[in-house]
Amino acid sequence: MYLAIGYAMCMTFAALALAPLPSEPGTGVIDKIGHWLAFFALMLWFTGASDDSQGGRLFIQLAVFGVVIEILQAIGGYRSAEWLDVMFNLAGALAAWGIAEVGAFGWGRRLVAVTGRKWSPN
């Protein structure tokens, strides 16, 4: 269930990033904060089911996810791709990875253990 929620988050972010907008939001600060927050949340969520040896793999997967979204935006024609968005995606994921490195890896497993339930990431 834990990973299913994470994948649903990815699908939601992808749908929002690829959906046509009534007007182009531009490249304002709010847009970049949104990119940062989305990838921060994704990285933090997935580190909750991981151990510290998986941080690099998670970061690379999210980096590829962010690049693919930007490429799809460029192909779609009704959204614009911006490499600065990719940079903010990476910055958000990197910030969450940093937090995970100081003790947050496996936070989801620890939370489930406190409730007395058996951990199952699927």
DSSP string, 41-75: HHHHHHHTTS-GGGHHHHHHHHHHHHHHHHHHHHH
> 36-89, pLDDT tens digit by residue?
999 999 999 999 888 778 889 999 999 999 999 999 999 987 788 889 999 999
pTM: 0.86
Mean pLDDT of all residues in 87-101 = 94
Report whether pLDDT(11) > 60.
yes
Decide: 67 and 15 in contact? Cβ < 8 Å.
no
Distance CA 84, CA 92 (A): 12
Q: Long-range contacts made by residues 74-78, C-beta under 8 angstroms, separation at least 24?
A: 76/18, 78/20, 78/21
- The encoded tokens of residue 88 equal 């903010």
Mean pLDDT of all residues in 13-21 = 88
Mean pLDDT of all residues in 88-103 = 93
Mean pLDDT of all residues in 11-40 = 84
Q: Please report which confidence band the pLDDT of residue 26 belongs to, taking 50, 70 and 90 as the band edges.
A: low
